[in-house]
């Protein structure tokens, strides 16, 4: 039940982000602006989704006699990040209480019909953990605040990492490796985003800062995971070319972001060349050359 509550909260946070984006697009079209806290608060769509039932409808009587919903009121000012904090608490409870698969030591005597397997043998702890982490990872990619993206991608990575003690790694190694690469790509890119404004102003000294070093470490970790994932991904390319292509695209993005944070010109150009090779897109380097010309 705790896991269900956690996944429900993730869905609410995802819906809040989606509606915030739509509201922002509507606001920009009308020429007015709203604050980020107003856009990200679930209050607007909680209230907007209330039905105005006809007076002859039994639901109108139910709504009129319904007591105030304190949980909805307490969530009215919650941001997606706040909702994710609540979801994490529920997930931790659920993970703690998940059954662990174990082999039965009892043997039925001959002639006795075998009954249904115990519940703990039907439950896949690895599948549940992967689902939880994957949903948090997908949501972390949508968050606007870099620090929040970094926080939830790191949390998802910790769950993926935990799976090595819970899963048959021969089966799960490929999906886990790719997913952890995506987590670290988000972490490194979020760190790099904090430096973009300074780099655009020509303040190249920020590349020597601790934040830049942490961003590079995150991107290097992502590249390491993606390169390890290319082994099984290459073998299954004929069966799933879309997944293989997505992996190459993620690797190219990590290489490109790392190149943007690299001081040494020779190393930077090597990274750009590798990114182009993985992406197979000549426009990648063309955009880079234009950006370099403008900066000069």
Whether residues 90 and 170 fall in one domain: no
pTM of the predicted protein model: 0.75
Would you list the DSSP string of 185-223? HHHHHHHHHHHHHHHHTT-GGGGGSHHHHHHHHHHHHHH
Model confidence band, residue 216 (pLDDT cutoffs 50, 70, 90): very high
- List all residues 6 or more positions away from 3 whose beta carbon is below 8 Å from its beta carbon: 90, 91, 94, 95, 98, 128, 132
Whether residues 85 and 147 fall in one domain: no
Residue 108: the pLDDT is 52
Whether residues 194 and 296 fall in one domain: yes
Give the best-scoring range by mean pLDDT among 164-178, 245-259, 271-285. 245-259
Higher pLDDT pick, 30 / 277 = 277
Domain that holds residue 259: 123-296
The percentage of residues in the chain with a pLDDT greater than 70, rounded to a whole number, is 73
Sign of the Cα pseudo-torsion (155, 161, 166, 170, in order): positive
For range 236-257, the mean pLDDT: 80
Whether residues 67 and 197 fall in one domain: no
**In the chain, what is the straight-line distance between the N-terminal and C-terminal CA atoms, in Å?**
58
**Residue 103 falls inside a structural domain:** no
Query: How do residues 101-145 score in pLDDT, each as one tens digit?
Result: 664 444 555 555 555 555 556 778 889 999 999 999 999 999 999
**Residue 106 falls inside a structural domain:** no
Answer with the one of 37, 63, 98 that is the final residue of a domain: 98
CA atoms of 192 and 266, how far apart (whole Å): 20
Whether residues 219 and 82 fall in one domain: no
Helix, strand, coil percentages, rounded to 5, for the chain = 75, 0, 25
Residue 215: the pLDDT is 93
Backbone angles phi, psi at 32, to 5 degrees: -105, 165
Residue 224: the pLDDT is 95
**Residue 110 falls inside a structural domain:** no
Please determine, for residue 181, whether its predicted confidence score (pLDDT) is greater than 60.
yes
CA atoms of 88 and 83, how far apart (whole Å): 9
Whether residues 160 and 21 fall in one domain: no
Whether residues 167 and 270 fall in one domain: yes
Distances (CA, A) of 28 to 22, 44, 48, 187: 10, 17, 20, 29
Please determine, for residue 254, whether its predicted confidence score (pLDDT) is greater than 90.
yes
Whether residues 142 and 205 fall in one domain: yes
The rounded mean pLDDT for the chain is: 79
Q: Which residue has the tokens 């007015």?
A: 32
**Residue 149 falls inside a structural domain:** yes
**Residue 116 falls inside a structural domain:** no
Whether residues 88 and 225 fall in one domain: no
Q: Which of 263, 199, 186 is nearest to 226 (CA)?
A: 186
CA atoms of 157 and 137, how far apart (whole Å): 8
Whether residues 80 and 138 fall in one domain: no
Whether residues 288 and 153 fall in one domain: yes
Query: How do residues 56-88 score in pLDDT, each as one tens digit?
Result: 777 777 777 766 655 554 566 788 999 999 999
Q: Work out how many domains the chain is built from and give that number.
A: 2
Residue 117: the pLDDT is 56
Residue 106: the pLDDT is 47
CA atoms of 159 and 180, how far apart (whole Å): 10
**Residue 168 falls inside a structural domain:** yes
Residue 48 burial by CB count (10 A; 0-12/13-18/19+): exposed, middle or buried?
A: exposed
Model confidence band, residue 27 (pLDDT cutoffs 50, 70, 90): confident
Please determine, for residue 206, whether its predicted confidence score (pLDDT) is greater than 60.
yes
Whether residues 2 and 52 fall in one domain: yes
For residues 176 and 164, the answer to whether their CB atoms sit within 8 Å is yes
């Amino acid at each position: 039940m705790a896991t269900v509550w956690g996944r429900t909260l993730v869905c609410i946070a995802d819906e809040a982000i989606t509606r915030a984006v739509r509201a922002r697009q509507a606001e920009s079209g009308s020429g007015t602006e709203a604050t980020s806290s107003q856009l990200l608060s679930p209050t607007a769509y909680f209230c907007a989704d209330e039905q105005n039932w006809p007076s002859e409808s039994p639901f109108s009587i139910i709504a009129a006699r319904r007591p105030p919903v304190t949980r909805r009121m307490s969530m009215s000012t919650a941001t997606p990040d706040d909702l994710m904090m609540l979801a994490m608490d529920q997930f931790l409870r659920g993970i703690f209480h998940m059954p662990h698969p174990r082999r039965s030591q009892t043997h039925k005597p001959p002639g006795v019909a075998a009954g249904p397997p115990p519940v703990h043998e039907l439950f896949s702890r690895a599948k549940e953990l992967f689902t939880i982490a994957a949903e948090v990872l997908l949501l972390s990619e949508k968050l606007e605040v870099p620090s929040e993206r970094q926080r939830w991608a790191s949390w998802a990575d910790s769950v993926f990492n935990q799976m090595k003690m819970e899963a048959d790694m021969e089966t799960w190694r490929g999906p886990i490796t790719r997913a952890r690469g995506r987590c670290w790509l988000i972490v490194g890119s979020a760190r790099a985003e904090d430096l973009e404004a300074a780099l655009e102003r020509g303040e190249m000294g920020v590349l020597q800062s601790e934040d830049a070093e942490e961003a590079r470490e995150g991107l290097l970790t992502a590249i390491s995971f993606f390169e390890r994932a290319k082994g099984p991904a290459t073998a299954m390319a004929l069966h799933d070319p879309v997944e293989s292509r997505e992996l190459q695209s993620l690797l190219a993005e990590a290489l490109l972001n790392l190149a943007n944070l690299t001081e040494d010109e020779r190393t930077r150009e090597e990274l750009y060349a590798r990114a182009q090779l993985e992406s197979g897109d000549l426009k990648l380097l063309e955009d880079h050359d234009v950006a370099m010309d403008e900066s000069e």
